[in-house]
Amino acid sequence: MAKEVATPKAPNAVGPYSQAVQTGNTLYCSGQIGLDPATGKLVSGDVVDQATQALHNLQEVVKAAGFEFDEVVKVTVFMANVADFSKVNQVYDQFFGKAKVLPARSAVGIAGLPLGAQVEIEAIASKAN
């Protein structure tokens, strides 16, 4: 049975979707952009600031579901400018670089993101049986 996960510590969804959905021991997190949950606006600054905020938001959603960030097994990173890959990768490393097992990951450049964001990050987490 699917269970919706929501936390005020991450931005409200900007459309008709859940912040995350848990089914059994698996958590599917919707993409997070660099929105400040307090203001609902994109953080000012460059892709580094937005990636940092997006990962903080994602971390809060994972935590709200009772999962640890170390239980993230798959991440997808969407970038409005694929030339930002190395900058986003440096931020990503700050959040995942010390994980016991690094998550599988895809990183893609796309034509545009909601609200003019520069990066969006989604994840899947799984608890061991």
Question: pLDDT tens across 94-105, in order?
Answer: 999 998 899 999
Q: Give the predicted TM-score (pTM) of the model.
A: 0.95
CA 37 to chain centroid: 13
2-126 has CATH 1.20.120.80 classification: no
HSE, side-chain direction, 13 A CA sphere, residue 64 = 22
Which residue has 């969407």 as its token pair? 78
Strand partners, 72: 125
**pLDDT per residue as tens digits for the range 29-59:** 999 999 999 999 999 889 999 999 999 999 9
DSSP E strand boundaries for the chain: 2-5, 20-23, 26-33, 72-79, 104-109, 119-126
Which tokens belong to 40?
């609902």
Map out the domains of the chain as residue ranges.
2-126
Give the integer Cα–Cα distance in Å for 129 and 113. Answer: 36
